[in-house]
Amino acid sequence: MRVLLIDDNKDIADMVSLCLESQEDITCDVISDGKEGLKSIKEGNFDVILLDLALPDFS
């Protein structure tokens, strides 16, 4: 399973990514910028997208 995590808080992103990737079949791409996250959504093939709803300069 491929997960995209978009969150500007590095501590939260690191914790969630670490928890997800501790599972054998999960890989997690982490992006901290909303615009880059949108670009990755359009270009990538993700099974799950976890999105911080309060990103700076992007809503």
Residue 57 lies in a domain: no
Residue 58 lies in a domain: no
Q: Which amino acid, 20?
A: L
CATH number of the domain bearing residue 36: 3.40.50.2300
Q: For 15-52, how does the pLDDT look when each residue is reduced to its tens digit (9 = 90+)? A: 999 999 999 999 999 999 989 999 999 998 999 999 98
Predicted pLDDT at 53: 87
Confidence of residue 58 (pLDDT cuts 50, 70, 90): confident
Q: What is the pTM of this model?
A: 0.88
Q: How far is CA 25 from the centre of its chain?
A: 16
Residue 35 structural domain:
2-51
Residue 56 lies in a domain: no
C-alpha distances in Å from residue 24, one per residue of 17, 19, 27, 28, 48? 13, 11, 9, 12, 16
Confidence of residue 59 (pLDDT cuts 50, 70, 90): low
Residue 46 lies in a domain: yes
Asked if 42 contacts 27 with a C-beta cutoff of 8 angstroms, the reply is: no
Domain count, the chain: 1
Predicted pLDDT at 56: 80
- How many Cβ atoms sit within 10 Å of the Cβ of residue 29? 15
